[in-house]
Structure 1
């Protein structure tokens, strides 16, 4: 039997509802949930002794069940004479004080301020199927009548799916009237009813509109969202933000329903936010393994990325997540990233927070009471400490943070929050300064008395940085590219001239300055804030041989190229990121690889010089175009792919006859490394120059 209207407009028709209840008979129809699903909310917002008006009651058992648990002052109205007669017959003997009246809610017969609560379960949704003028006029009349019959301090409690046009109408009407507006999530979706007819893939919400006493002059509307997970409501600044928060809950419920029905949707990512602040707390990546890759009982697992390691390829890219999911051998793996600025109480605390939430993402067919394992690297959630955070007009919000890496080493990183999973600069911290003496300092603190003088302040941030260690693989490859110079065996004794565009934390120009004693390095940085960060947090300091120019790299090179006697650098290095994430190329900005500009770069290079470019490009067509432009200016082009990352380092030279075979290139790298390893020189033994050039290919 078809009990749904052919058109949503029929929801506002008396004839439709008369026919609906005649066909359905006396069997109850529960819109948006049963009493058991709603009773927690109802008991929270309705007191047993309050006068309650139920509008559009239909043949729901809700009023009867409220009556049976002690709510006696209940009046029910509906536009359908058929359903009112049915409900009167059903309740005359058992519930003599439960009243049912046929009445149009847009023209109610009750006096002003007659009720303390108006309860609406699905009625507003039914009478507001569209945004046409006639529909809007009728709903305005209904809401005005609700306001009229409520006392000051009374509440309009409306159970709804909170479709966008319904939410906009209800919130807009009552906020203009100066009422307090709260939207409370009642169910998470999927189980919002009792049977096939009443199941909804979207969550059910309740609007709690509280009538306040009018005040003279303008007042700030109050908008709040209360979800199932949080105890207190989240205050929002506008109706638009409230609507967006509701939409996020609806999207999440829809996503859960899709993930439950089928696998193989691809990688799906979503944020879970802190209930009090509204700030993202967890980012979840849901990845399904290919069919047949998982063991029969390996249904579902949660993998926690240790703090600070979400920037690694395996944990920070879609390709890495897929590889991780395959190696974990579960049908579905939820990979969880922990957000900076949030505090976590170890793996047990995270498991307690996430257990209920992530189960909503489980695949279909997972047995009931199945124990879902929580996994991580070594079972540890890692350590992250934010040392500094600030805002730059050019780079946006950024943080300097210390994180724990492999083998107990700590690393300092510069992160632009517009690209949370990209490390802009990184330096290893000297272990005994960073954290090796922490236990000793804690013991010393315990011995201090109140009369003791205060402890000395901790060492300055820059003094903790290990300047001999290059963290970034692409920086190691860029330094190794100096072996392409014809005079590589005497580079340490010659006045090597290097231009580096893009300072960041200063690790690359500082390394060249420190390890090539006769070098002169010019660094160009657009953002003056980065020079401050490099000096205060990464141990960077200019000198006579290391000059920093605060300028646009494009303008600076154009100025050099247009001079009367252009300087001739042995090496020009570009390590500059793009601020536009939509381009498909995050490093460098497109203008830095435009052919006219590349010719300016070539004009400031020595004949045997090398132009070294850090290229990060996911758009294959765009990358081919960049390579073609480079080849037009620099006929000799080597490419070195950074393993496990998107980065490719391009080594560009002007003369094809300078081409070196792989054995010749590796021999030059070994010669240069031997010079750098001489006694008395500081050198990181894990850094092998020839390894950086072994996989170089000529394009």
Structure 2
């Protein structure tokens, strides 16, 4: 059915329309015009008096990627350009109905020339899809945004569906390590369809065999890999671990007594943080994640292994904290949760650190971490009761705005003794650290645990910890 030509004359918040259009720059083998998929999304924010409209070409061979083929992906692209009222996404019509990233290899020169020629030929289409208000002072300039990342190649390992997180994708990728360095780096990633532009988990992987580094020497899908759990590559995980330097003296004392320090992780994902705490730092670790399928993926693809010193439980981490706190302080046992509580009892005591990596993913508002449910006084009090005398609460924070972050800081400050912060430096994440008691100054001592942290993490993260 033909589109009504007036459909695009006005801006309608959150309206999403897709259709096909003949490619003006490409013919099929039979001489027919190939089809383009055109997707038009209006911002969920009410339009401004002077709306901005832009178009973007889907990178070649990434038409199936959720970033470009789904409404949540499209919305995140729009929201990443502040002030944009309408984003017109244009790419090759996928050959079939598959909706996930099936793998690709980037071709830089071919892609550049294709993009330049196609942009010029599509300007009339973009003008036709612009709202009438844009023409009040003449014909507007057509703006094409470019999408660039460090992805060189990818191959999909599995697409599956979790009860709580929905459809998810496990992929191996090759990325650029920097301009002109000539090195290849490979990672395994987990992405959720509900927020396809966000990498939920990534770990470094290393080819099991030695292959040449020349272009075309081998293809990523032909390789077998092993997980390199010695390095944290996800942007905010190393800063979260660096926060342990604040209680380095206390952890040293535990280790000298022959005891393992204990960590509770609210949210597991691929398990990179848990594996690092256990394998590299000698912690006894307990993790809780709400989705059983996520834990299956973590064990199958990301090297997470249950053992004597690393255990995972399926459950809502916030509820779990409240249940265990109630049980430990009041002896109240909630029906149906005896197994979970026995795991906590097996940890034999309180935790030295609680690390919170939970988010409230909603494509319409963007990513927020932690969810609002966590920043409630009963939950914060419960978390505090599970920490030892010198314990710390470490939270990965992605605030939607400064007001949210300021309010959160005040809520946490009401429950804990002191607050510290690490700015991850990516323009998105902060690590908030709350202490049960005053932190002992270790600057005049050679603390073995802090020296170990310095040897396996960037010291810059520890140097950037500031009291707030």
- Among residues 381, 386, 389, which one is paired with 1:604 in the alignment? 386
Cα shift readout 1:394-446 (whole Å, capped 9, x = no counterpart):
1112111222230311111111122122121111112x42773698x989xxx
Match of 1:563 in 2: 327
- Among residues 267, 270, 274, which one is paired with 1:509 in the alignment? 274
Match of 1:94 in 2: none
Cα distance, 1:698–1:160 mapped onto 2, change above 3 Å: closer
- Is contact 2:103-2:155 (8 Å) kept? no
- Among residues 199, 205, 216, which one is paired with 1:423 in the alignment? 199
- 1:370-449 to 2 correspondence within 5 Å? 382-405=152-175, 406=177, 407-430=183-206, 432-433=207-208, 436=211
Unpaired runs of 5+ in structure 2?
11-17, 44-49, 93-99, 128-137, 178-182, 330-344
Counterpart CA distance in 2 for 1:698 and 1:621 is 19
Counterpart CA distance in 2 for 1:278 and 1:584 is 22
Give how far 1:508 is off.
Answer: 0.4
- 1:425-504 to 2 correspondence within 5 Å? 425-430=201-206, 432-433=207-208, 436=211, 459=224, 464-485=226-247, 486-490=249-253, 492-493=255-256, 494-504=259-269
- 1:225-374 to 2 correspondence within 5 Å? 227-229=21-23, 231=32, 268=54, 270=56, 317-318=80-81, 340-341=101-102, 343=104, 346-351=107-112, 353-359=114-120, 360=123
- Is contact 2:251-2:261 (8 Å) kept? no
- Is contact 1:480-1:669 (8 Å) kept? no
Cα shift readout 1:602-647 (whole Å, capped 9, x = no counterpart):
1111111001111111222222111111011013110111102311
Cα distance, 1:574–1:435 mapped onto 2, change above 3 Å: farther
- 1:101-180 to 2 correspondence within 5 Å? 162-163=5-6
Counterpart CA distance in 2 for 1:437 and 1:539 is 26
Question: Is 2:461 the partner of 1:692?
Answer: yes
- Is contact 2:236-2:431 (8 Å) kept? yes
- Is contact 2:172-2:189 (8 Å) kept? yes
- Is contact 1:271-1:280 (8 Å) kept? no
Secondary structure, aligned partner of 1:419: coil
Q: Whose strand proportion is higher, 1 or 2?
A: 2
Counterpart CA distance in 1 for 2:168 and 2:289 is 16
Cα distance, 1:347–1:433 mapped onto 2, change above 3 Å: same
Question: Is 2:287 the partner of 1:523?
Answer: yes
Counterpart CA distance in 2 for 1:650 and 1:419 is 24
Counterpart CA distance in 1 for 2:403 and 2:264 is 29
Counterpart CA distance in 2 for 1:266 and 1:162 is 20
Q: If you compute each CA radius of gyration, which structure gives the higher value, 1 or 2?
A: 1
Question: Is 2:382 the partner of 1:618?
Answer: no
- Is contact 2:262-2:353 (8 Å) kept? yes
Unpaired runs of 5+ in structure 1?
1-157, 165-188, 190-200, 203-223, 236-244, 256-263, 284-309, 323-333, 367-371, 444-456, 678-682
Question: Is 2:434 the partner of 1:672?
Answer: no
Cα distance, 1:483–1:411 mapped onto 2, change above 3 Å: same
- Is contact 2:370-2:398 (8 Å) kept? yes
Counterpart CA distance in 2 for 1:588 and 1:423 is 16
Counterpart CA distance in 2 for 1:583 and 1:345 is 31
Match of 1:183 in 2: none
Counterpart CA distance in 2 for 1:160 and 1:692 is 54
Secondary structure, aligned partner of 1:509: helix
Counterpart CA distance in 1 for 2:81 and 2:390 is 40
- Is contact 1:391-1:397 (8 Å) kept? yes
- Is contact 1:506-1:534 (8 Å) kept? yes
Secondary structure, aligned partner of 2:305: coil
Give how far 1:345 is off.
Answer: 6.4
Give how far 1:590 is off.
Answer: 0.8
Cα distance, 1:336–1:636 mapped onto 2, change above 3 Å: farther
Match of 2:135 in 1: none
The TM-score, its normalising length taken from structure 1, stands at 0.47
- Is contact 1:666-1:693 (8 Å) kept? no
Give how far 1:487 is off.
Answer: 1.4
Question: Is 2:409 the partner of 1:639?
Answer: no
Secondary structure, aligned partner of 1:228: strand
Counterpart CA distance in 2 for 1:226 and 1:375 is 21
Give how far 1:488 is off.
Answer: 3.8
Greater RCO between the two (CA within 8 Å, min separation 6)? 2
Aligned Cα root-mean-square deviation (Å): 4.7
Match of 1:572 in 2: 354
Aligned residue-pair number: 387
Cα shift readout 1:202-223 (whole Å, capped 9, x = no counterpart):
9xxxxxxxxxxxxxxxxxxxxx
- Is contact 1:346-1:381 (8 Å) kept? no
- Is contact 2:104-2:153 (8 Å) kept? no
- Is contact 2:359-2:371 (8 Å) kept? yes
Match of 1:539 in 2: 303
Counterpart CA distance in 2 for 1:234 and 1:365 is 26
- Is contact 2:243-2:465 (8 Å) kept? no
Cα shift readout 1:58-107 (whole Å, capped 9, x = no counterpart):
xxxxxxxxxxxxxxxxxxxxxxxxxxxxxxxxxxxxxxxxxxxxxxxxxx
Give how far 1:545 is off.
Answer: 0.7
- Is contact 1:496-1:520 (8 Å) kept? yes
- Is contact 2:245-2:453 (8 Å) kept? no
